[in-house]
A and B are shown apart, each in its own frame.
Chain A
Amino acid sequence: MAGSGSSDIVHSTAAQYAPYILLLPMLAFPIILYLGKALNGNKMWKDTLKEGGIIALGVMGASLLLSLWLVSDFIGAYGGMEMLSDWTWFTSSMWSAGDVATHEVSFGFGIHIDHITVLLLFVASFLCLLINTFAIGYMNTDPINDNRNHRFYAEFVLFCSGMLGMVLADSFLWLFIFWELMGLCSYLLIGFYYERPSAAYAAKKAFLTTRVGDVFLMVGLAVLWDLFGSLDYAVVFDSYNIEAVAASSSGTLAWALGLMFIGAVGKSAQFPLHVWLPDAMEGPTPVSALIHAATMVNAGLYLVARMFPFFGHEALHGDLADLAFIIAAIGGTTAVMAAAIAFVQHDLKKVLAYSTMSQLAYIFTGLGSALYLANTLHWHKYLADGTVNADYYVNHAIVVVAFGAALFHLFNHAMAKGMLFMASGAVIHEVHHAHHHLHHHEHDDHHGSNNPEELVMLAKHLSENDQTVYDFFKSIDLDDSGDIDMFEFQKALTATKIANLPPWEMDALVKAVDINGDGRLNLPELDLALGRILSEVDHGHHDEFDAQSMENMGGLASKMPITATAMLVGSLSIMGFPLIGGFWSKEGIIANTWRVALDDPRFFYPAMCVLLGAAMTGFYMSRMWLKTFAGSPKGEVAANVHPTNTWIKTPLFILTFFSLGGIVLASMGFTHWAPDIEYGLMSDHGGLWGGFLYEMEHVFANSDPFFFILTYIALFFGAIVGPGLALSLYGGALDEGEEAKAWFGPVLALNAAIKSRYHWDNSAFAQSGFATALSNRLYFDHYYDMAMLKIVAAFSNKAAETDAAVIDGTIKAIERTSQDLSTKLRSLTTGSARDYILMAAVGTLVLVGLIWGVVA
């Protein structure tokens, strides 16, 4: 309970300083914003302070140091759990039926540190610093960002504060508060290039989609609060409180957790609330790396991981198994779906976005399985009736290892995906610069021509079909009114198969052509616009170069060796290539899901999904690397790319070793990272070497034949089938004379050999309806937009009409009636003396009659 200082554990000095981890970046937010406004354009501000980048770097460095202090303290101490909850935020009162007086309820703020916190705290503060470094090299070298980078860094540090705060907070309430703060920063940063309609649309989509999840999260929190009378971890995770709730309302608790899980689905971009993440790539690449790959999207996982004490409690044994299955099933579905969509993406960042979605889904599946195990196995030392549990050692190990594998994958994925995004940013940055350099473009052309793409396509369509603008106009102006509205125009665009746009984009399109500003289009307006566009297209002004498309890359391995290495290591980690970071955790997730499947047949679904997903991951990650770095450059731009700058290279270099070092972390015991007396780092299996031997044996020579076979099936899928298919289809040898680093040699040689020997024609697949559906993201976005347009927008328009016509109409009718009445009365006021005398006489008569009637 807040304000009561519920912790018995002596606070370490590091924990006393923990609030500064989130306060420092939060304080830096207004400072950077203010200085950026005050010093805008100043030379020192720009060159030395990097428009706030250096301030942000300093603050994030301090946060990292404080975090490392806390982490080392925690790991050294085996404290289990530590809390600092000494601040009351606000208090109010409640009344329970039957009481004579109200009782106080208070909402506090505090710091909560346990093994989940520590893991996420390190991930967040470490990556915030590295990506901040990267951002200085990425953002400050692009003229488009000049004089507005301070906005980027201010929002960046505010985001970091939100993420660190969410991890450190000691209650679901403050988790939610920081969660929303991150949502705001995500919105602002996706919309950083506010002048692009696509960025504005993507920002709104991200905020709204996650908001739908947040709504359920908030309801879930309300239900949880009502059950426990608090949202503090100290209260809701208290063993006696859980027992009390379990006895009376375990079903309600399941509802609460289920509703909260919907919030996690939205934040972590899982099916069916996944649509926002690929669009969020509109933000600058550092934003994609930090928020939409390494940290914020983990918030949903963090929330689910936080629920562990409920699932693991004996009193709720079996009650939450269905929810655990739902979590795993949502994860499995998303893993396969996102991986399939990643097959056909050409945009480098979009491949990574779908990969993020898919890997997060793996972690959800892993968490679902771990929670299922925790909820259905008797894994505590004593059973509910107090007798000693005979299966304690076996079951305890199963639960801890399953949970640890999911958390470890979170760690590995964050490191690898942060690095992959930064590497992709380096590639895009250099391709973009090469393009600029070659074509001497002015800055204004950065976003291409201002002509909306749809109008360009329409102009081309008309010229190809020899149709005049007049004929076209007549064909769509069905009522011959001389002008067409947005909806008629939309129908026409749909009919010509050019585009099917949501109303807000249609509106922008109409605005672009609508010269007289009446919201409708007439013939001269359309003629003028299309004529101008056609002449521009003919003169080749339209800039269609896309620096993010892998179709414009290829053969970059020799030109950007550090980046290529980082990308290779990151991809291998995501694929689960033996001995590298992601391998240990991914194998763990697959094995544990199958372990549950043997117990509960429903889990065959997520289990099959993750196994299949392993092969799919191998394919799309390899495809991405090969299309970007192998083969000959596609086009002259790719041939002229140069290595990138030091700000960008440094974080890539560091993270490469983190992913490669997965074996060390696994040997240290991070595969079963738990604050548990049974499990310590470096101690279980006799130090680092013993841990290494144990892990190797456990994975490659498992004594259980089922898991032995499963491991090799997964390896075969993920490291041979998937990459093999990609090797046979994409890439090729580098051009003559291009030198690659020695460690790419085998990869490139293998790639060339397989491609020349096993290359096959995949055009039948590429042109199939399934591939079309995939490249349209399985039409989810389309149907969501349609639902918004046809149901929500239509209904609200109808409601606005009803409000004016019916509700206000009633009032107006009353008003009119009374007005008519008074007009009629007033018409008696004729101004003629004769009428007045008559009226006075009639009035007197009536009055006399009345009095007489009363008296008589």
Chain B
Amino acid sequence: MMDWISIPLVGFPLVASLALLAFVGNASPAARAKVGPTIRFLSLVISIAMLALTTAMFFGQLDGDTMLDWNTMSFGSFNFEFRYMWIEMLGIHWSVGMDALSFPMVWLTTFLLPITIVATWNEKNAAVYFPLLLMMGGALIGVFVALDLFMFYVFWELTLIPMFFLILKWGGKDRKYASQKFFIYTFTASVVMLLGLVTMYFMQPENLTYAGDWTGRTFDIPTLISHSQAANAEGNWFLGESMQKVLFVMLMIGFLVKLPSVPFHTWLPDAHVQAPTGGSMLLAGVMLKMGAYGMFRLPLALFPHAAHHFQLYLLLFGMVSLVWGAIVCLGQTNLKKMVAYSSVSHMGVILIGIATMQPLGWAAALFMMFAHGIISPMLFAVCGAFKHHYHSMEIGAMRGMAKHSPWLATSMMFAWMASLGLPLLAGFVAELMMFLALWHFLAAEGWSVLWMVGPALVLALTAAYYLWSMQRTIFEGGEKTQPPESLHGAPVPDIADSEKLAMIIMAVFTILFGVMPWIALDMMNGWTVGFFNSLLIPILGGA
């Protein structure tokens, strides 16, 4: 049994990145430039080793004599569960484990790390940049494997630090403003969440398992969930009705800002537009999913009564994000800003999926988290390459890309098509399931089919902004296209080989999960079924 495996998975990248940063920290710029390629290579090796580890976990090869089975785990059980007492007085543990909710996210993180490294192979100041990416990866995995509220919060905030520096040091013109806004905005929301967590800590019944010596309270997430479950079974609200509602709202504020949902989304376009490509890829690919992951892990599992109570508000947030995000996309002239707003729109799908309170909708949300985690980094990689090669982010700055940069044009078309939900690419399955679940919910509530037209028209709007932007980048230009002004007469380049490699890998996986969604979907379905059968159905009114 390799229960301790999460420790190196989280710790190794963190320690390695800190060691590397310490190593180059005092070096002169010249020396840094000299070790840059070595450090880059080391980072790549570490990230690939992590990917190999999680992939082996997927195939069930890591658990000694028994095969891991992610698809039929019972709800509340974890693979590689490991608990080590850390601060006895308060009941804080190094407590980790993976279930079918967290494992896809962990795998996604380890998948994106090497891709990000390869896609931004030529980033400046490599000796610092690549260790920061590693640190980002370690912190993200920490969030996903933590089973202790304290640990969860520590890693949650830890992710801000590398991202802050990535934006601040490698960002665009307004990087200072963007990095500060990003930090303060999400940090403020996290503080509300922290207050909620602390309140929950003190409001819980005394002397549950893994409780602190002195406080008599526990930070252990599985313990709290099983306690909540027990309270539900007796027909009670865990922690009482009004307290549960208040706590639900406090936690949700932290997660909705991170997701982000309209109207808490304005940090995202600023952060994305200023962030370097690698930062954007991890930000959109995994960091946004922390919000959705957190919802499933904490408020929905701990406070299902309140979740049911606020169901229509969740739906409202989801609908507004979906529709507003798409409309605002259409009004953008900056390629990266458009893509950033499209993320807002897609995160709306996740919220709607949750709000349907159907296993199908939840599986849709989980699969959307995963699919968007592969597609959106590709979107940002394309944006990054566009900016890198044409020194502009304005839609229409460069036309006739199909002629001058066929690889970039092909990648762009593929990524755009994947994002607008083309069938047989990863995003479609999630959108389809969300639609089916949404209509099932609306029909059961007696709503008119016209309510479906709004979210459905977003599909057309999404197609509109993506096609409109392709018309003015890939197409047109005539036989005698002039290179854009921003190139100052330099020849028009295509993307570098490392970028090609990253694009191809992302495209292959987008197709893989579009054609064979069950690879990831089966375990997600198993998890939602467990959740519904053990937690939610009694509350929703099952016999």
Contacts of A259 in B (CB 8 A): 449
Stretch at the interface among B7-15, B120-128, B232-240, B524-532: B524-532
Q: Is A428 close to B, CB under 8 A?
A: no
**A residues in contact with B402, CB < 8 Å:** 194-195
In the complex, B517 has a CB within 8 A of chain A: yes
Nearest to A96 among chain B residues (CB) is B444
In whole Å, how far is A147's beta carbon from the nearest beta carbon of chain B?
A: 11
Are A92 and B360 closer than 8 Å at their CB atoms? yes
Q: A93-B529, A100-B542, A208-B467 are in contact. Are A177 and B423 (CB under 8 A)?
A: yes
Q: How far is the CA of A92 from the CA of B436 in the complex (A)?
A: 11
CA–CA, A215 and B540, complex, Å: 31
**Interface mask (B514-542 → A, CB under 8 Å = 1, otherwise 0):** 00011001100100110011000100111
- Chain A window 157-196, contacts with chain B (Cβ cutoff 8 Å), 1 for yes, 0 for no: 0000000000000000100111011001001000100111
Q: Which of B50-58, B141-149, B203-211, B469-477 lies at the binding interface?
A: B469-477
| Partner pick for A215 among B460, B467, B475, CB 8 A cutoff | B460
Inter-subunit contact A93/B363 (CB<8 Å): yes
B400 and A195 contacting across the interface, CB-CB below 8 Å:
yes
CB <8 Å contact, A95 and B460: no
Q: Interface centre among A184, A214, A218, by most B CB within 10 Å?
A: A218
Contact B476 A105 (CB under 8 A): no
A362 within 8 A of B: no
**Nearest-CB residue, chain A, relative to B417:** A184
Are A93 and B525 neighbours in the complex by a CB distance under 8 Å? yes
- Supposing A93-B360, A93-B525 touch, asked if A212 and B460 sit within 8 A by C-beta, the answer is yes
Give the Cβ gap from B411 to chain A, nearest Cβ, in Å: 14
Chain B residues within an 8 Å CB radius of A196 = 476, 478
Q: Is the CB of B456 within 8 A of A91?
A: no
Return A685 CB to nearest CB of chain B, in Å: 45
> Which A residues are in CB contact (< 8 Å) with B267?
811
**In the complex, are the beta carbons of B400 and A95 less than 8 A apart?**
no
**Roughly how many angstroms separate A184 CA and B432 CA in the complex, as a whole number?**
18
A93-B532, A222-B452 given as contacts; is B477 within 8 A of A208 (CB)? no
Select the stretch in B29-37, B326-334, B381-389 that faces chain A.
B326-334
CA distance A738 to B331 in the complex (A): 60
A215–B459 touching, CB < 8 Å: yes
- Contacting A504 at CB < 8 Å: which of B185, B263, B452, B472? B472
Question: Is A850 part of the binding interface, using a Cβ–Cβ cutoff of 8 Å?
Answer: no
* Contact indicator A98/B475 (Cβ below 8 Å): no
Which residues from chain A contact B158 at a C-beta distance below 8 Å?
none
B contact residues around A94 at 8 Å (CB): 358-360, 437, 440
Output the least CB separation between A612 and chain B (Å). 34
- Residue from B262, B477, B521, B541 with most neighbouring chain A CB atoms (10 Å): B477
Knowing A92-B433, A799-B327, A811-B185, the reply to whether A184 touches B475 (Cβ < 8 A) is no
Complex: how many Å from CA A485 to CA B521?
51
Looking at B294-302, B371-379, B479-487, the stretch in contact with chain A turns out to be B479-487
- Docked-complex contact A215 and B456, CB < 8 angstroms: yes
Q: How many A-B residue pairs have CB under 8 A?
A: 209
Is A436 an interface residue when CB atoms closer than 8 A count as contact? no
Contact with B along A492-523 (1 / 0, CB 8 A): 00000000000010011001000001000000
Q: Which of B342-370 contact A (CB under 8 A)?
A: 358-360, 363-364
Judged by DSSP, the binding face of A is: helix
Return the CB mask of A800-823 against B: 1 if under 8 Å, else 0: 110110011011000100000000
- Scan residues 754-813 of chain A and give those whose CB is less than 8 A from a CB of chain B: 792-793, 795-801, 803-804, 807-808, 810-811
Decide if A97 touches B540 in the complex (CB within 8 Å).
yes
**A interface residues, tally (CB under 8 Å):** 74
In the bound complex, do residue A225 and residue B436 qualify as a contact, i.e. CB atoms below 8 Å apart? yes
Quick check: A798 and B331 within 8 Å, CB to CB?
A: yes
Q: Is the CB of B266 within 8 A of A200?
A: no
> In the complex, are the beta carbons of A180 and B423 less than 8 A apart?
yes
By a CB distance below 8 angstroms, the chain A residues around B480 are 444, 450
A207 to B466, CA, bound (A): 11
Assess whether B403 is interfacial by the CB under 8 Å rule. Answer: yes
Residue of B nearest to A255 (CB): B449
B465 to chain A, nearest CB (A): 8
From 445 to 461 in chain B, residues with beta carbon under 8 angstroms from any chain A beta carbon are: 449, 452-453, 456-457, 459-460
Q: Which B-chain residue is minimally distant from A101 (CB atoms)?
A: B533
A99 touches B327 (CB 8 A): no
Are A92 and B363 in contact (CB-based, < 8 A)? Answer: yes
- A354 interface contact, C-beta 8 A: no
Q: Contact between B464 and A792 (Cβ–Cβ < 8 Å)? A: yes
CB distance from A329 to the nearest CB of B (A): 22
Binary interface encoding of chain A residues 547-564 relative to chain B, with 1 for a CB under 8 A from any of its CBs, else 0: 000000000000000000
Q: Which residues of B contact A796 (CB under 8 A)?
A: 327-331
- Residue in A105, A447, A800 whose beta carbon sits within 8 Å of that of B478 in the complex: A447
Interface status of B463 (Cβ within 8 A of chain A) = yes
A316 to chain B, nearest CB (A): 18
From the candidates B262, B467, B478, B521, name the one contacting A204 in the complex (CB within 8 A).
B467
| A199 to B470 CA separation, bound complex (whole angstroms) | 13
A838 to chain B, nearest CB (A): 32
A119 within 8 Å of B (CB atoms): no
The reply to whether B464 and A89 form a contact with Cβ atoms under 8 Å apart is: no
Contact B449 A216 (CB under 8 A): no
Contacts of B481 in A (CB 8 A): 195
Is the Cβ of A507 less than 8 Å from the Cβ of B396? yes
- For B518, give its contact among A91, A201, A801 (CB under 8 Å): A91
B422 at the interface (CB under 8 A from A): yes
Minimum distance in angstroms from A198 CB to a CB of chain B? 10
Give residues of chain B (227-275) contacting chain A, Cβ–Cβ below 8 Å: 262-263, 265-267
B481 nearest CB neighbor, chain A only: A195
Residue of A nearest to B267 (CB): A811
A195, A201, A815: most-surrounded residue (chain B CB, <10 A): A195
Is A211 in contact with chain B by the CB < 8 A criterion?
Answer: yes
C-alpha gap A94/B360 in the complex (Å): 6
What is the distance, in angstroms, from A450's C-beta to the closest C-beta of chain B? Answer: 5
B443 interface residue, CB < 8 Å from A?
yes
Nearest B residue to A806 via CB reads: B263
Pairwise interchain contact B331-A504, C-beta atoms closer than 8 A? no
Find the B residue at minimum CB distance from A209: B460
Interface pair B542/A99, CB less than 8 Å apart = yes
Chain B CB count within 10 A is highest, among A90, A91, A450, A517, for A90
Q: How many Å lie between the Cα of A181 and that of B424 in the bound state?
A: 9
**Restricting to A124-147, which residues have a CB under 8 Å from any CB of B?**
none
Q: How far is the CB of B221 from chain A (nearest CB, A)?
A: 23
Q: Which residues of B contact A508 (CB under 8 A)?
A: 476
Minimum CB–CB distance for A189 against chain B, Å: 13
Contact with A along B384-404 (1 / 0, CB 8 A): 000000000000100110110
Residues of chain B with a CB closer than 8 A to A797's CB = 331
Enumerate chain B residues within 8 angstroms of A446, measured Cβ to Cβ.
Answer: 479
A71 CB to nearest B CB, Å = 27
CB distance from A91 to the nearest CB of B (A): 6
Does residue B201 face the partner (Cβ distance < 8 Å to A)?
Answer: no
Can you list 29 A-B contacts with CB-CB less than 8 angstroms, sorted by A residue number? A91-B522, A95-B542, A99-B543, A177-B423, A180-B422, A187-B467, A194-B402, A194-B476, A195-B478, A197-B475, A200-B471, A200-B475, A200-B476, A211-B459, A214-B460, A215-B457, A222-B435, A222-B439, A222-B452, A223-B439, A223-B452, A450-B478, A450-B480, A511-B396, A511-B399, A795-B327, A798-B331, A799-B330, A807-B265
- Contacts A214-B459, A219-B435 aside, 19 further interface pairs with beta carbons under 8 A come to A94-B360, A95-B359, A95-B532, A98-B541, A100-B543, A102-B533, A173-B432, A184-B417, A195-B476, A196-B478, A197-B476, A208-B463, A215-B457, A219-B449, A222-B435, A801-B331, A803-B328, A807-B266, A808-B266
A positions within 8 Å CB-CB of B: 88-95, 97-102, 105, 173, 176-178, 180-181, 184, 187, 191, 194-197, 199-201, 203-204, 207-208, 211-212, 214-216, 218-219, 222-223, 225-226, 252, 255, 259, 444, 446-447, 450, 504, 507-508, 511, 517, 792-793, 795-801, 803-804, 807-808, 810-811, 815
In the A-B complex, list the 5 residue pairs whose CB atoms are closest, starting with the nearest.
A800-B331, A200-B475, A796-B330, A808-B266, A93-B359
